[in-house]
Amino acid sequence: MNTKPISGLCCDSSYSHKTKILEYRVVDIETLNVLYQNQIHDTYFANNIGEFFALVRAVKHCIDNKTQCEIYSDSNTAISWVQNGIVKSSVLEEPENKKLLPFINAGLAYIKTINSLPTILKWNTKDWGEIPADFGRKQKATNNPNVKNLIETLNLKQDE
């Protein structure tokens, strides 16, 4: 088990199907201060894109402040997009998400101007718990009343 980081920056994103709001933020791991947070309204399931935006903001924070710190994300997809300088996602084909393209292109253009990216690492949720930037809205499936009812129903049918 790796040691849980006590410094650096971390990123997370949250998408609500109900409100169609994509949120993302960057948090200082040591102080837990939110360094950047943003919302984009009327999107369609673009969580990894939010993670990408948060990572770009974290990179920009490091560059602007001339700091050498590690950046963490729990999204392998977004990490690979930043490191490879390309975003590939089928959700970009959704009409609601077309407005994200200029922001994605601006983020990719910014990343390409940087000679040496800060170190970006995968947050080890299994060993370290939720990333400090987490929005805290995840509901474990077994705690969801609808899922509990379904499990109970399935168990009843198995016993019959």
pLDDT score for 77: 97
In a domain? residue 123? yes
User: Which tokens belong to 16?
Assistant: 């609500």
In a domain? residue 144? yes
In a domain? residue 1? no
3-state secondary structure of 37: strand
- Cα 107 to Cα 57, 78, 83, 124: the distances in Å are 9, 12, 12, 25
In a domain? residue 92? yes
CB 8 within 8 A of CB 130: no
Residues 66-110 have pLDDT tens digits of: 998 999 999 999 999 999 999 999 988 888 888 999 999 999 999
In a domain? residue 4? no
In a domain? residue 2? no
CATH number at residue 13: 3.30.420.10
Q: What domain range is 150 assigned to?
A: 9-159
Strand order from edge to edge, sheet including 21-28: 34-40, 21-28, 9-16, 71-73, 120-122
User: Which tokens belong to 74?
Assistant: 């729990």
Residue 160 has pLDDT above 50, yes or no: no
CB 4 within 8 A of CB 128: yes
| Whole-number Å distance between alpha carbons of 121 and 128 | 13
In a domain? residue 48? yes
Q: Based on the structure, what is the number of domains in the chain?
A: 1
CA-based Rg of the chain, rounded to a whole angstrom?
18
User: What confidence tier does 37 reach under pLDDT thresholds 50, 70, 90?
Assistant: very high
Q: Which residue has the tokens 């609500």?
A: 16
pLDDT score for 135: 93
Residues 113-149 have pLDDT tens digits of: 999 999 999 999 999 999 999 998 765 544 545 444 5
